[in-house]
Amino acid sequence: MKDHTPGAMRLALLATMAIWGGNLAVVKLLLERFDPMALSALRMAVSALALLAVLHWQGPGWPRLSRRQFAGMLVCGLLMIYLNQICFTLGVQRTVAANAALVIALNPLVSSLAAAALLGDRLTPARLAGVVLGFSGVAVVVLHRPGAALGHGSLGDLLVFGSVLTWVAGGVLVQRLTRAMDSTVVSAVVNTLGSSAVVLHALLDPGTRLPDWGAVRVVDWLLVALSGLLATAVGALVWNRALVRLGVARTALYAYWVPIFGVGFAVLLLGEPLTVWHGVGLAAVLSGTWLGTRKS
C-alpha cells in the first residue's frame, strides 16, 4: 500500500469505519445461518487469503523473519485476531447490545492510556477532552436507538472489554513491528497467523456447529466474502497503516464513527427513526475526533 498524506489517511479511516458500521448489519444477518465461531473462521480465512494475495502481488511474498520478529507477529496475531474474536463473540452472546456498544466505545480511552504508558505518547488535555466528547456522542446515539436498554454488569461485559484490551495491545505491537517492516507485510503475516488460530479453534471445538448447507444461499456466501475482504482484510491494511501514520491514540478515536455509521445504515436501510439525539451524537463525535486528532 502506498504512503498516504495525513488528510488522505483520515479519509481512508472514515471510509473503513463506514464499512465496519455496515458490516455490523451484515454479520447480524449472517448469524441467522452460521454458528458464530464458524462465521468468524470463514471471514478470517477469506481475509488471510486476500492479504497473502496482496503480499504475493507486491513481489517479495512471505518475508524472512527473525525469531524475534516471528514471535512478535505471532503474539500480535493471537491478541488482535484470535483472542479478540473469541472474547468478542462470547461476550456479545452474554450481554445486551447497548452494554456491548458502550464497552467497545472505551477503545479510544484505553488506547490513549496505553500509548502514554507504553509508547511515550503525550496525553494532552485536548486529547482527553476529545475522548470524553466522542464517548458521550456514542452513548447518546446508542441509548436512543429503538428498544435500547442497559443491562446489569455481567461476564459478557468483561469479555467484550477483553476484546478491547486485546485489540489495543495488538495495535501497540503493530506500531512497534512496523518500525522495521512495512505495515502491509505486518498486516498480512499477523492476520494469517491469527486467522489460522481462529480456524483451528473452530475445527477442534466440538461446540462449533456446521451450517445447514441447504439453507445457505449464494447471497450469504457473497456477504461472507465481502465481509472478509472489505471489513477484515482492507480494514486491517488501513487500520495498521493509520497506526503508523497517526499513532495508536489518534487512530483509535476514529472507532467512535463505527456506531454512528451503523445507526446511519439502520436509518437508511431499516427505516429506524431519525431523531435530534442522532444529530447531538454526531456533533459530539465530530468535535471529539477533531479535538483528539489535531496536532498540539
Q: Contact, 103 vs 161, CB < 8 A?
A: yes
| pLDDT (tens digit per residue) in 233-283 | 999 999 999 999 889 999 999 999 988 888 888 778 767 788 888 899 889
Cell numbers at 266, concatenated: 439502520
pLDDT band at 214 (very low <50, low <70, confident <90, very high): confident
Residue 214 vs residue 190, higher pLDDT: 190
Determine the pLDDT at residue 1. Answer: 45
Q: Contact, 190 vs 76, CB < 8 A?
A: yes
Residue 147 scores a pLDDT above 80: no
Please give the DSSP secondary-structure letter assigned to residue 256. G
CB atoms under 10 Å from CB of 26, counted, come to 18
Q: Contact, 277 vs 145, CB < 8 A?
A: no
C-alpha span between 23 and 230 (Å, rounded): 9
Residue 3 scores a pLDDT above 50: no
CA atoms within 13 A on the CB side of 274: 13
The dihedrals phi and psi of 34, each to the nearest 5 degrees, come to -125, 145
Domain ranges of the chain: 6-293
Residue 208 scores a pLDDT above 50: yes
| pLDDT (tens digit per residue) in 151-200 | 777 788 999 999 999 999 999 999 999 988 889 999 999 999 999 999 99
Residue 146 scores a pLDDT above 80: no
Region 18-24 average pLDDT: 89
For the four alpha carbons of 243, 245, 249 and 253, in that order, the dihedral sign comes to negative
Task: Please provide the distance, in angstroms rounded to a whole number, between the alpha carbons at the two ends of the chain.
Answer: 28
Least confident range of 45-54, 55-64, 89-98: 55-64
Determine the pLDDT at residue 132. Answer: 92
C-alpha span between 18 and 114 (Å, rounded): 25
Cell numbers at 131, concatenated: 475522548
